[in-house]
Amino acid sequence: MRTATLQKNDLDRVIDLLSQADYRVIAPQNQPRLDGPDSIDVAVFKEIQSGDSHNIGEGLSTTGIKPFLFPKDEPLFAYENRGKKVVLTEVSLDFPKTVILGVRPCDVASVSSLDAVFSDKNAGFNDELFTKRLEKTTFVSYSCTEPDVSCFCTSVGLAPDSDKGSDLHMTELPDGTLHVEVKTKAGEKIAAVIDALLSGDGDAVARQQAGVAAAEKITRLRDSAPILPWLQDLGNFGDEMWQRLGEKCLGCGACTFECPTCHCFDIVDENSGNKGYRVKFWDSCQFDHFTLHASGHNTRNSQFERYRNRFNCKFKIYEDVFGEKGCVGCGRCIRGCPVNLDITEYMAEVAHKAAIPNAMSADPDFE
């Protein structure tokens, strides 16, 4: 498909043209900061209007694009008690035509992990709230050139210049221009809208080199190949490492909510007088009441078991059920963890244990 060159400072024009073509444009934007040293830089994906400043190409946003496909809360329907009748009102599934601009390769790859759960490809149930949003969404991805210390996409089969899941992929070249690759029909439509800004065929060699140079900057390198067979050996479910590495976990949900592939949710009726909404909202397997039964029994009674579940979900359950990893290596769970619980330490530990045949798994000194 088509390749071309785009000037980086034309990204503002790209936003203008897409807005004029009736796209809702979502792009990463820096959030305002308060005075004083306690404030840190935070960038999130938000709807952008012509003239707003964005930070496309400046590092990985703090949170990903998940909320635009799977919002942190949304009503499923409204209800009202009218005498003996309950009147239900469906929510609209007419979502706006949307383009998400400047998505990093890890984030755009994560869409397939969400799709695996919410579409009927595997699960046999089609969650229209997700799939109808996805149908209306076009992803314009943007290669990483400066991965940071927490990035580990190359350890889970991706790369800083991956275009998996992308409709139109951009890579910033050392000369400051963007190499544009159209990947899908939806991407062609975007290319047609911004056609006036595209020139030539791009520089495929420089684009390749930019990808290689970025991958070389990644320092968190793990061998993920031994992980699946090690986890599939159920004898390792009781290994000492789960408690040793996981006992510092305090049980917040920062890792799961920042994660682009975590998809668990809860449903509750929010009542007000005789009417209300049934609401779907994000839930986290790290919360102590996530597996709490009505009887009072909790199947994951300790925090380390909850993190063991999270690791198994990413590297075993996803593989078993969907044939792919549930982790894209964005590193947000590492950056966001208050106690520096690091998923790549688990990966390293598993690789280490898998390399030692018949290793002693239970540590007798550990209480």
Partner 1 sequence: MIEQIREKARELLESGELDVVIGYAEGSDPTRTTPIFCRKPEDTDKLVLDGRCVNTLPAYLNKRHEYPKKGWKKTGIIGKGCDIRAITQLIAENQLKRDEVYIFGAECEGVVAHPEKWDGSLHEGNCASKCSACDVKIPLDTDFYPGEKPEVDRSGPYMVSAPALATLVKMDDEDRFAFWRDDFDRCFKCYACREVCPHCSCNICITDRTMPSWVDQAAHTKGVFGWHLTRAMHLVGRCTGCGECTRACPVNIQVDLFNQKMKEVIQESFDYKSGYSMEVKPPLITYNTDDQETYIR
Q: Does 287 bind partner 1 (CB under 8 A)?
A: yes
Measured CA to CA, the distance from residue 347 to residue 231 in angstroms comes to 11
Stretch that binds partner 1, among 26-34, 93-101, 128-136, 153-161 (CB under 8 A): 26-34
Q: For the segment 330-359, give every residue that binds partner 1 (CB under 8 A).
A: 332, 334-336, 338-342, 344-345
Residue 193: helix, strand or coil by DSSP? helix
Residue pair 137/99 in contact (Cβ under 8 Å)? The answer is yes
Handedness of CA 95, 101, 105, 107 (dihedral sign): negative
- Stretch 56-115 residues interacting with partner 1 (CB under 8 A): 62-63, 72-73
Candidate residues 257, 307, 311, 315; the one interacting with partner 1 per rule CB under 8 A: 257
How far is it, in rounded angstroms, from Cα 66 to Cα 263?
9
> Which of 49-57, 132-140, 174-182, 248-256 is the region at the interface with partner 1 (rule: CB under 8 A)?
248-256
CB 183 to partner 1: min, Å = 30
Instruction: Give all strands (DSSP E) within 91-136, no chain letters.
Output: 98-103
| Residue among 309, 296, 325 at smallest CA distance from 251 | 309
233 is an interface residue for partner 1 by CB under 8 A: no
Residue choice 266, 274, 320, 352 for contact with partner 1 (CB under 8 A): 266
* 29 scored as a contact of partner 1 (CB under 8 A): no
CA 174, CA 161: separation in Å to the nearest integer? 14
263: tokens are 């998809």
Least distance CB 204 / partner 1 (angstroms): 34
Residue 274 burial (CB count, 10 A): 11
Residue pair 325/157 in contact by the 8 Å Cβ criterion: yes
Question: Which listed residue (84, 85, 289, 297) binds partner 1 by CB under 8 A?
Answer: 289
C-alpha closest to that of 134 among 115, 153, 162, 161: 115
Separation between Cα atoms, residue 26 and residue 47, nearest integer Å: 4
264 lines the binding site for partner 1 (CB under 8 A): no
Residue 22 or 38 with smaller CB distance to partner 1: 38
294 binds partner 1 (CB under 8 A): no
Q: Which residues bind partner 1 (CB under 8 A)?
A: 31-42, 44, 62-63, 72-73, 149-150, 247-248, 250-254, 256-258, 266, 268, 270, 279, 281-282, 284, 287, 289, 302-303, 332, 334-336, 338-342, 344-345, 365-367
